[in-house]
Amino acid sequence: MESMEKKIREIAREIFINQKIDFFLGYEEGSVPLKSRPFFIQAKEKTPDGLINRLVWNSFCSNNLAVFLPKFFEHDPRKKPPRIGISVKGCDLRSIVALIKEKQVPRENIVLIGVPCLGMIDKTKVEANFQGLEIIGSEETPEGVLNITTKDGKKHHLKREEFLQEACIECRFPMTEGTDYLIEGKARDPGDGGYARIKAFEDKPPEERWEYFKREISKCIRCNACRQACPTCWCKECFAEQTDLRWIGASIDLSDTMIFHLIRIFHQAGRCVECDACYRACPMGVDLRMFTKKIVQDVDELFSYVPGFSTEDTPPMSTFREEDSDNFISEP
Amino acid sequence: METSNWEPKIVAFLCNWCSYAGADLAGVSRLQYGPNVRIIRVPCSGRINPLYIVRALQNGIDGVLVSGCHPGDCHYISGNLVARRKFALMKRLLTYIGIEPERVQFSWVSASEGNRFAALMNKVIDDIKKIGPAKKLVKSVA
């Protein structure tokens, strides 16, 4: 991963000069262990060397950077749209493809650096391993070992493979394809997509499913973090905040919250790339993965469509086929 | 509300060109169907936002029927075909979280099918009576 980090810095430096980018989006070391945070580099007069050296690539670069892009390209006749370089994992790339397709991001203004993804570590899993003991330092080895220092001064060696995020374990497309630059390296083997987990939930009795949905959604405090973290949720005016027609209340009334999530999930139909940004952003630990994945699976099963690969194809929800299934129609 | 004389409240979203005319035909033909249904006329079944359906359930409606022209007969050529995709997903999503599948129903009724409309309404009313009042998404008034 260190070699990847070096390569990213090299390429970032190069494209600041050769491709005339105005911004570079990557990650820098976070202020606490086990966290990397999004990092924006802006080119002023000369190449920002000092800032480029702060770019990192490690097992904690899980944020989906695509979420920041649409804001840069909001229509403003006084401004020229910037050119942006960005380092992307498989899921980020799919999000960007979806944004290009929805005309939120112009392809010609983006310089993509693909990074083969080895999966990102789930901070909560590592923390759970130490049962509340504070972690004060972490270090990774190229062999896939995570060295952790805890507050009592002890060192621990963890296998990174055992602490990966669920989304990364299930990930079907860890490799980036069609980027402008590609960092050398091997991505992890594709996962199974996690459809089996959805099927297993489906097989439970309805009352049990309802209880689970109710229990999870009742944790929600309506902070909208799931929506803000999602690259696909770029509407300037969200249905949840419309006031001309007040569709749902803004408070944590359980019914309002349920409807917010149902419609939020529904709006992901044919667009969600399963990056799990919503799940990671949730401060209350609502199991959003269980519900958002359902719409991904249904779109795949009913319309044979997996989003985030082509900017040319028609979105499944704005087209139809004559032979689409009618089996849910009620007959008298 | 769960006394023996409970009657379900049902909302039917009907498209202007086929299903609404079908309901009209049922009326002028003096076909009998339950008085539980409130009809809302929409320009096309493609006009239905799934939000309307959950909003109806939130406001204490016990059952929702959405009906449009038969596939291929849409006044706007393909509105109902696009709607069909939406409804298929919505029905699956609602069932997935544990809402009874009978609670929200979709159908096709043409302008000449007064009989079908009356029979369909009776079926929906029967279904809803069997599963009882909606409780799951209802907003409680504080």
pLDDT at residue A299, as a whole number: 96
Task: Please report which confidence band the pLDDT of residue A290 belongs to, taking 50, 70 and 90 as the band edges.
Answer: very high
Say if residue B4's pLDDT is above 80: no
CB-based contact A263 B50, cutoff 8 Å = yes
A41, β-bridge pairs: A24
Q: How far, in Å, CA of A43 to CA of A23, rounded?
A: 6
Say if residue B3's pLDDT is above 60: no
pLDDT at residue A116, as a whole number: 93
One domain for residues A46 and A177: yes
For residue B139, give the nearest of A253, A303, A329 by CB distance.
A253
Is A323 inside a domain boundary? no
Q: Which tokens is A57 given?
A: 């690539």
What residues of chain B lie within 8 A of the CB of A328, using their CB?
Answer: 87-88, 91-92, 106
Q: How far, in Å, CA of A33 to CA of A123, rounded?
A: 9
Task: Please report which confidence band the pLDDT of residue B81 belongs to, taking 50, 70 and 90 as the band edges.
Answer: very high
Q: Which tokens is A181 given?
A: 């630059």
Nearest-10 Cα torsion for B59, B63, B67, B71: 120
Of A192, A196, A176, A195, which is closest to residue A184 (Cα–Cα)? A176
CB pairs under 8 A between A and B: 113
- Dmax (CA) of chain A: 73
Is A272 inside a domain boundary? yes
CB-based contact B85 A316, cutoff 8 Å = yes
The ipTM, to two decimals, is 0.94
One domain for residues A80 and A222: no
Q: Which amino acid is at A213?
A: F
CB-based contact A317 B122, cutoff 8 Å = no
One domain for residues A241 and A255: yes
Residue A54 DSSP symbol: T
Is A278 inside a domain boundary? yes
Q: Mean pLDDT over residues B29-38, rounded?
A: 95
**Lowest mean pLDDT, pick from A166-175, A322-331, B3-12:** B3-12
Other beta carbons within 10 angstroms of residue A206's beta carbon come to: 15
Q: Mean pLDDT over residues A132-155, rounded?
A: 88
| Structural domains in chain A (count) | 3
Token look-up 């973290």 returns A229
Say if residue A241's pLDDT is above 60: yes
One domain for residues A61 and A128: no
Q: Which tokens is A305 given?
A: 């469509």
Q: In sequence order, what DSSP letters do the residues of A173-227 get, joined into one string?
A: --S--S-SEE--S-PPPP--TTHHHHHHHHTS-HHHHHHHHHHHHTT-----HHH
One domain for residues A206 and A294: yes
One domain for residues A177 and A271: no
Q: In sequence order, what DSSP letters do the residues of B4-64 get, joined into one string?
A: TT----EEEEEETTTHHHHHHHHHHTT----TTEEEEEES-GGG--HHHHHHHHHTT-SEE
Q: How far is CA A276 from CA A132, A167, A193, A194, A286, in A?
A: 25, 6, 12, 12, 12
- Residue A27 is inside which H or E element, if any? strand A23-29
Task: Answer for the pair B134, B61: CB distance below 8 angstroms, yes or no.
Answer: yes
CB-based contact B84 A317, cutoff 8 Å = no
Is A79 inside a domain boundary? yes
Say if residue B11's pLDDT is above 90: yes
Q: How far, in Å, CA of B44 to CA of B15, rounded?
A: 5
Q: How far, in Å, CA of B142 to CA of B135, rounded?
A: 15
Residues 6 or more apart whose Cβ sits within 8 Å of residue A187: A90, A116, A117, A118, A174, A175
What residues of chain A lie within 8 A of the CB of B90, using their CB?
Answer: 266
Q: Mean pLDDT over residues A132-137, rounded?
A: 87
pLDDT at residue A110, as a whole number: 95
The three-state (H, E, C) secondary structure of A133-181, written as one string:
CCEEEEEECCCCEEEEEECCCCEEEEEHHHHECHHHHHCCCCCCCCCCE
For residue B88, give the nearest of A255, A256, A302 by CB distance.
A302
Is A64 inside a domain boundary? yes
Is A189 inside a domain boundary? no
Q: Mean pLDDT over residues B48-57, rounded?
A: 95
Structural domain boundaries, residue A94: 2-120+173-182
- Nearest CA of chain A to the CA of B102: how many Å? 9
Q: How far, in Å, CA of B31 to CA of B23, rounded?
A: 10
Q: What is the pLDDT of residues A26-66, one digit of tens each?
A: 999 999 889 999 999 988 767 778 889 999 999 999 999 99
Percent of chain A with pLDDT over 90: 74
pLDDT at residue A137, as a whole number: 87
pLDDT at residue A68, as a whole number: 95
Is A94 inside a domain boundary? yes
Task: Answer for the pair A204, B97: CB distance below 8 angstroms, yes or no.
Answer: no
- Residue A124 is inside which H or E element, if any? helix A123-129
What residues of chain B lie within 8 A of the CB of A247, using their CB?
Answer: 51, 55
What residues of chain B lie within 8 A of the CB of A213, using their CB?
Answer: 97-98
Is A225 inside a domain boundary? yes
Other beta carbons within 10 angstroms of residue A320's beta carbon come to: 21
pLDDT at residue B5, as a whole number: 86
One domain for residues A74 and A178: yes
Q: How far, in Å, CA of A26 to CA of A39, rounded?
A: 5
One domain for residues A177 and A51: yes
Pick the CATH number of B10-131 from 3.40.225.10, 3.60.20.30, 3.40.50.960, 3.40.50.1000: 3.40.50.960
pLDDT at residue A101, as a whole number: 94
Task: Answer for the pair A253, A260: CB distance below 8 angstroms, yes or no.
Answer: no
pLDDT at residue A106, as a whole number: 94
Q: Using a CB–CB cutoff of 8 Å, tell me whether B131 touches chain A.
A: no
Residue B141 DSSP symbol: P
Mean pLDDT of chain A: 92
Q: What is the pLDDT of residues A99-119, one digit of tens each?
A: 999 999 999 999 999 999 999
Task: Please report which confidence band the pLDDT of residue B142 belongs to, taking 50, 70 and 90 as the band edges.
Answer: low
Percent of chain B with pLDDT over 70: 97
One domain for residues A300 and A153: no
B13, β-bridge pairs: B40, B66
Q: Mean pLDDT over residues A311-323, rounded?
A: 92
Q: What is the pLDDT of residues A193-210, one digit of tens each?
A: 999 999 999 999 999 999
Task: Please report which confidence band the pLDDT of residue A79 belongs to, taking 50, 70 and 90 as the band edges.
Answer: confident
pTM above 0.90, yes or no: yes
Say if residue B2's pLDDT is above 80: no
Token look-up 């062999």 returns A143
pLDDT at residue A92, as a whole number: 95
- Nearest CA of chain A to the CA of B90: how many Å? 7
> Ramachandran region of residue A222, left (φ > 0), alpha (ψ -120 to 50) or beta?
left
β-pairing, B104-108 vs B63-68, is parallel
pLDDT at residue A19, as a whole number: 82
Task: Answer for the pair B127, B102: CB distance below 8 angstroms, yes or no.
Answer: yes
- Dmax (CA) of chain B: 46
One domain for residues A11 and A128: no
Give the count of alpha carbons within 13 A of A164, CB side only.
Answer: 17
One domain for residues A34 and A177: yes
